[in-house]
Amino acid sequence: MSGPQREENEDDILSLRHHLVNWLFTPLYLLLLFSTVTGYIAALKLSNQPYDLVLTERARLMASRFDLIPETEQATQEYLLPDEAEHLSFTLFDANNHPLLGNATLPRPRPIDFAAEGPRLRSTSLGGDKVRMLTLHFRTSRRTPGTEYVLVVAEPVKDRLYLGRSILGNIVIPQFIFILIAGFAVWIGLKRGFEPLENLRRAVAKRRGDDLSPLDEAMAPGEVRPLIREVNALIERLKGMMDQQKRFVANAAHQLRTPFAGLRAQAELARRADAPPAVRAALEGICEGAGRCSRLVTQLLTLARNEPDARTEENMTEHDLNRIAQETAMDWVPEAVGKDIDLGFEGSAGELPLRCDEGAMRDLIGNLLDNAIRYTPPGGRVTLRTGPGPWLRVDDNGPGIPPEERGKVFDRFYRVAGSGQPGSGLGLAIVHEVAQRHRAHIAIESGEGGRGTAFRVSFSR
Ligand SMILES: Nc1ncnc2c1ncn2[C@@H]1O[C@H](COP(=O)(O)OP(=O)(O)OP(=O)(O)O)[C@@H](O)[C@H]1O
Ligand SMILES: [Mg+2]
């Protein structure tokens, strides 16, 4: 049962962790996206500045070169355009807006470009390519003093884009790596942070079903402590209710014991007196019924006494298991003899010290012997053995318990159908409770020679 439950718990912890990571990283990645976009715009702007400066300087240089050529000489485009600026296209216009010279036909300058002296820059596209276009209005001072010209120069923007992207890369990649490292650190941190919870879960999963002791608050992180406190309060209430119920069963059984014993004694007395056969038969029935009720009540009381509770450790003292087993076997000799069963005891050599509740231990062995004697047909053999560990074992050569029934016979009031013997199905439930109280392990095996039944109870020291 603990398997699927455990998986479910792990999933819950995992999803809580995912939840936290999502809440931390979604905003972080959104921020990264935002900073990438703003960074890209800033990088483009930044990369434009130096290129614009160079472009302006080149245009001014071209204008002054043009001014240096005497009016009598024809200016050539190769002369105006330096080698290192071959990627530029330019057209020189005169004051009448006629193209004079150039390596490309660039759009004519607008009237405003003649009005304002100095360079004007704008981004536009030319024949499908994005370019940065500069318009420089200048007057010559040597060639023909005071004549106006407009030089239009266009530069493809792909170099600027390249610079912009490499600036962006230098910002975004470290940022991305930083976020990845932060994510890893947070993940590890969360894993370690959840460790106390995981330890708590393991401690709860390891508990025995009957362990109702409070959970250790110190194991839980501060945030979870109030929850643990509430769970402990709930356990305490539950324990109170269970104790009340157990007390009720124990009290009821105790109260019923005396009337049943009285009933049985009275019926025995009446049976011995002279009475007509029909009345005698009825009294026999009453005697038997009262006997069964007495036994049932005793079994219920024994069960209630051995149910685990806060007093589990009470009455636990050091005893010799060998002696207890031998004495209990002796108690059952009359029963065995009455049924023609060969009851044997094979104790281990020497003492078998065991910390136990002696009365409960006698109940355990007594119920195993009772079953073995009751279910083994007359003429059979029952043997009680003990050994170091310590362990004890009851073998019989009776009908045996089918493997598919072995898991159920320890349930309260469970009986295998067709045994033909009276009983209420509480004997093995008592054996189970006593074994649990003593942290012992019970196994049902086949008896000697593969026949019958063997109950083996192993105690761990
Ligand atoms: N040694 C055994 N051989 C065969 N069957 C057994 C043996 N011990 C127990 N069983 C089977 O297991 C069932 C449960 O045993 P348990 O001792 O719990 O109840 P019970 O003997 O029927 O009643 P009670 O012991 O309360 O009087 C029995 O009904 C019986 O069928
Ligand atoms: Mg029994």
Q: Are residues 125 and 27 in the same domain?
A: yes
Residue 301 lies in a domain: yes
Q: Are residues 146 and 286 in the same domain?
A: no
Kindly state if the Cβ of 416 falls inside 6 Å of ligand 1. Answer: yes
Residue 410 lies in a domain: yes
Q: Is the pLDDT of residue 10 over 70?
A: no
Tell which of 164, 191, 214 closes a domain: 164
Residue that wins the pLDDT comparison between 19 and 325: 325
Question: Structural domain tally of the chain?
Answer: 3
Q: Are residues 140 and 98 in the same domain?
A: yes
Q: Are residues 155 and 277 in the same domain?
A: no
* Cα distance from N-terminal residue to C-terminal residue, the chain: 28
Kindly state if the Cβ of 437 falls inside 6 Å of ligand 1. Answer: no
CATH of the domain at 243: 1.10.287.130
Residue 94 β-bridge partners? 149
C-alpha 244 to ligand 1 mean position (Å): 29
Residue 126 lies in a domain: yes
Q: Are residues 359 and 447 in the same domain?
A: yes
Q: Which two tokens stand for residue 428?
A: 């093995």
Q: Pick the ligand that lies closest to the CA of residue 425.
A: 1
Query: Which value, to the nearest 10 degrees, does the dihedral of the CA atoms of residues 424, 428, 431, 435 take?
Result: -140
Q: Are residues 265 and 330 in the same domain?
A: no
Is-contact 339 373, C-beta < 8 A? yes
Tell which of 164, 182, 211 closes a domain: 164
pLDDT of residue 3: 43
Q: Are residues 378 and 449 in the same domain?
A: yes
401 three-state secondary structure: coil
Q: Are residues 341 and 245 in the same domain?
A: no
Distance CA 179, CA 159 (A): 30
Residue 186 lies in a domain: no
Q: Which domain holds residue 271?
A: 223-306
Look at phi and psi of residue 418 and say left if phi exceeds 0, alpha if psi is from -120 to 50, else beta. left
Q: Are residues 293 and 338 in the same domain?
A: no
Residue 160 lies in a domain: yes
Tell which of 260, 283, 306 closes a domain: 306
Distance CA 285, CA 299 (A): 21
Distance CA 123, CA 381 (A): 110
pLDDT tens figures, 202-260? 988 888 777 888 988 888 888 889 999 999 999 999 989 988 888 888 888 889 888 88
- Residue 123 has φ and ψ, to the nearest 5°, of -100, 135
Confidence of residue 154 (pLDDT cuts 50, 70, 90): very high
Q: Are residues 359 and 266 in the same domain?
A: no
Q: Is the pLDDT of residue 6 over 50?
A: no
Residue with tokens 């309260």: 412
CATH of the domain at 86: 3.30.450
Residue that wins the pLDDT comparison between 151 and 19: 151
pLDDT of residue 1: 38
Q: Pick the ligand that lies closest to the CA of residue 299.
A: 1
C-alpha 400 to ligand 1 mean position (Å): 10
Residue 197 lies in a domain: no
Kindly state if the Cβ of 371 falls inside 6 Å of ligand 1. Answer: yes
Q: Give mean pLDDT, residues 273-301.
A: 88
pLDDT tens figures, 244-279? 888 888 888 889 888 888 988 988 888 888 888 888
Mean pLDDT of all residues belonging to the chain: 87
Residue with tokens 């959840």: 194
Ligand 1, pocket-test mutation among 297, 406, 428, most atoms within 8 A of CB: 428
* β-strands 353-356, 342-346 pairing: unpaired
Residue 147 lies in a domain: yes
CATH of the domain at 329: 3.30.565.10
Q: Are residues 75 and 99 in the same domain?
A: yes
Kindly state if the Cβ of 348 falls inside 6 Å of ligand 1. Answer: no
Q: Which two tokens stand for residue 270?
A: 């009446």
Ligand 1, pocket-test mutation among 294, 302, 375, most atoms within 8 A of CB: 375
Residue 211 lies in a domain: no
Q: Which two tokens stand for residue 234?
A: 């709930």
Distance CA 37, CA 33 (A): 6
Distance CA 148, CA 139 (A): 5
pLDDT tens figures, 382-396? 999 999 989 999 999
pLDDT tens figures, 338-373? 999 999 999 998 899 999 999 999 999 999 999 999
Confidence of residue 398 (pLDDT cuts 50, 70, 90): very high
Kindly state if the Cβ of 133 falls inside 6 Å of ligand 1. Answer: no
Q: Which two tokens stand for residue 85?
A: 């600026």
Closest CA to 343 of 355, 329, 357, 353: 329
Q: Are residues 286 and 322 in the same domain?
A: no
Say what the pTM is: 0.61
Q: Is the pLDDT of residue 81 over 60?
A: yes
C-alpha 264 to ligand 1 mean position (Å): 24
Length of the chain as a residue count? 461
pLDDT of residue 151: 92
Beta strands in 128-267, from DSSP E residues, in sequence order: 129-139, 148-156
